[in-house]
């Protein structure tokens, strides 16, 4: 019988992993690592190899607000994944592979700044205008938010996700489109709100 006195290391494959290959389209590696399909289906997993679970986790912020179907479409569009094209979060640090980060790479357990956990707190209703929820999630913004904050976040994301900054990557182009749509929606809402205020007070 195998001795089980060794601590399960975070980057060891999950013992519960199914016997199949990585969910990343075209990847022949054995799937050993799970990742939730979306913030709304945290018990429903993709199964990836180590490289691809790390890539997926690094993109978690970007997948915010997307449905599992939209995420899968992005996986298929974004098949390279070999050259991380934007902020790799904490996994991009020089701490090689920090076990703690891998154990809770998405910060779901810590819950720090995670919009979903905040929203799920009992009694805390989502006060955000319904039409703005996805745009806010896409840009990673809270609510209420000022036009200045929206502009500043947009500038930052647009710079990071710009195809020119990502070797002309088509997936980056798609991300930038999503970011632009979110920004346009938020700016339109905040502009309109500001004009209403001026009309009321003036
Ligand atoms: Zn893989």
User: What tokens appear for 175 in the block?
Assistant: 């991300």
32 pLDDT exceeds 80?
yes
Work out the angle between the directed axes of helices 147-161 and 130-139 (0-180°, nearest 10): 50
74-130 pLDDT, tens digit per residue, is 777 765 554 334 334 433 333 333 333 344 445 444 444 434 333 334 444 677 888
Tens of pLDDT, residue by residue over 152-200, are: 888 888 887 787 777 777 777 877 888 888 898 889 888 888 777 776 6
Span from the CA of 33 to the centroid of ligand 1 (angstroms): 10
Measured in Å, residue 46 CA sits from the centre of ligand 1 at 11
Whole-number Å distance, alpha carbon 22 to ligand 1 midpoint, is: 5
d(CA 51, CA 83): 11
CA of 184 from ligand 1 middle (Å) equals 35
Distance 197 CA to ligand 1 centre (A): 52
pTM for the complete prediction? 0.41
Distances (CA, A) of 91 to 53, 86, 106, 142: 11, 12, 10, 24
> Burial of 117 by CB count in 10 Å (0-12 exposed, 13-18 middle, 19+ buried)?
middle
Long-range contacts formed by 161-166: CB under 8 A, 24+ apart: 161/85, 161/86, 166/85, 166/86
Measure 25 CA to ligand 1 centroid, in angstroms: 8
């Amino acid at each position: 019988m195998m001795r089980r006195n060794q601590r399960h290391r975070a980057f060891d494959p999950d013992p519960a992993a199914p016997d199949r290959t990585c969910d990343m389209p075209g990847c022949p590696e054995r799937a050993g690592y799970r990742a939730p399909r979306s913030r709304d289906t945290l018990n429903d997993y993709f199964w990836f190899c180590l490289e691809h679970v790390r890539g997926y986790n690094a993109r978690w912020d970007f997948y915010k607000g997307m449905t599992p179907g939209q995420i899968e479409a992005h996986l298929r569009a974004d098949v390279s994944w070999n050259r991380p094209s934007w902020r790799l979060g904490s996994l991009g640090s020089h701490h090689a592979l920090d076990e703690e980060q891998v154990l809770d790479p998405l910060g779901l357990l810590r819950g720090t700044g995670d919009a979903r956990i905040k929203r799920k707190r009992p009694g805390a209703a989502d006060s955000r205008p319904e039409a703005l929820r996805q745009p806010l999630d896409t840009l990673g913004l809270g609510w209420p938010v000022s036009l200045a904050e929206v502009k500043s976040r947009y500038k930052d994301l647009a710079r990071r996700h710009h195809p020119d900054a990502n070797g002309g990557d088509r997936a980056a182009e798609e991300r930038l489109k999503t970011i632009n749509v979110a920004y346009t929606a938020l700016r339109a809402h905040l502009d309109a709100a500001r004009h209403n205020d001026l009309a009321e007070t003036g």
